[in-house]
Chain A
Amino acid sequence: MVKPLKRILIGGLLLFLYLPIIVLALYSFNASEYLGRWEGFSLKWYGALFSNAEIAEALYYTLGVALLATIIATAIGVLASIGLFYSKAKIKKHVMTANYLPIVNPDLITGISLMMFFVFFRARFGFSTMLLAHIIFDVAYVIVVVMPKMMQIDFAQVEAAMDLGANQWVIIGRVILPQIKQGVLAGALLAFTMSIDDFVISFFTAGNRATNLSIAIYSMARRGIKPYVNALATLMFVGIILLIFFINRINDSKKDNENGRLIG
């Protein structure tokens, strides 16, 4: 008896969440230039999108920053997690708490404080400042995803490996990494998603020399929404949905994953 009600509630919630995006996606195929009037199906805005130099450059910034930040943040995050694995329980706890700060802190605050940080050091705003900012918040996400996997490893395995003649590198390479590799992959994908998704922090740390997609959409939207913005947003949405889908696939493929889905 409760079941239908539950279904209606969940359905309503999902509709509420996704309806705006569905409308946006629909209008990206609209032949008309005007919102709110449907003049038939067309791919012309997608065409306009791909021939737009401004957007091509923004895409380069978005993907470039996301890729580099992901690689660097994953490396740092995995090393930090291994360090935490070897640390005392108390240190582990404090660091994990501190690690949530960049995640729960409002992006606006993180963005402004990073901007002030870069101003203080007289950094040249652009690609590198934006990259650094992305690395900083991506590391937090990588650690959050990798640590639960890491904690499933019984530390006695490290001693057993040592007993059998393994040095620290062998232990990391053959005992620890193989057991956390799904966490590492999921963490990297999440970092990549967060990087592509980010607007606020990028906005404050990019300066006016660098423009990524979210900043580009924002400035276009201020000049009045052109339908190709809908096309761009639709593409980004689809891309991120696919990424999240993969992240959850990775986590589901591990049967004993009691932490459930990470996101999505």
Chain B
Amino acid sequence: MTLQIIVCVKAVPDPAQAGRIRIDPATRTLTRADVPLAFNPLDRNALEAALQIKEKSGARITVLSMGPSGAESIVRECLSLGADHGILLSDRAFAGADAYATSFTLARGIENIGKYDLILCGMASSDGATEWVGPQIASFLGIPAATQVEELTQADSQTLIVRSGMENGYRLMEIKLPALLTATRKLNRPRALSFSGIIKARKKQIVQWGLQDLGLAEDQVGQAASPTVVSAMTTRTARRQVEFIEGSIEEKAEILVQRLAQAGLI
């Protein structure tokens, strides 16, 4: 039996252009309209892990993303990198979802796909960065999850051995499929997009599912179903002060140490 892998991929505002993201004080949300969408960096590691399993022992990879219709280009990129099939969950009703509602909708999408053995997520998105979506999907589906995975090996067709990073060490775990993992940067080095991969993706399909396809009601998704309330949001202005220290090298070093100590930095 071919392993069925689902990779959850989020289209995020391009981190390289983060300076253009603004906060809307009225809705306390981020205005991302002017910022082009990009592949959430850690999701590229998640996809790479799936591609490596596919190369080693065969697998069918489905990419699942919830986002605006513009996110389709990111799904297409996944297909160009070697995924087999793409699903975009897109519906106006999904807008404004917090991590809970996002996870719920994605879990519904996964159930809609049907059979799955392994779900791969990034550890965190580069914009929301709650790190909740992966584990929450697992809990909605009632399957085990391992987060912050740095190393992954297949023990047999139904078991994985994963190593997860911790502050002062690591955890080595055996995990039975079906399971969900969240990927870190250490997991692998994501492959590059190739021209021939882009050509091959011409024949691959992306389907779009909305509220009705998932059999959900409007109050089960999006802002309406988001228990979190963002009570305030502010931009931090970073101020730089420059002071040139004059004197001999010894004097300069002396003054520098004093200044750093005064600032509470040493």
Are A and B a genuine interacting pair, yes or no? Answer: no
Binding site for B on A (CB under 8 A): none
Binding site for A on B (CB under 8 A): none
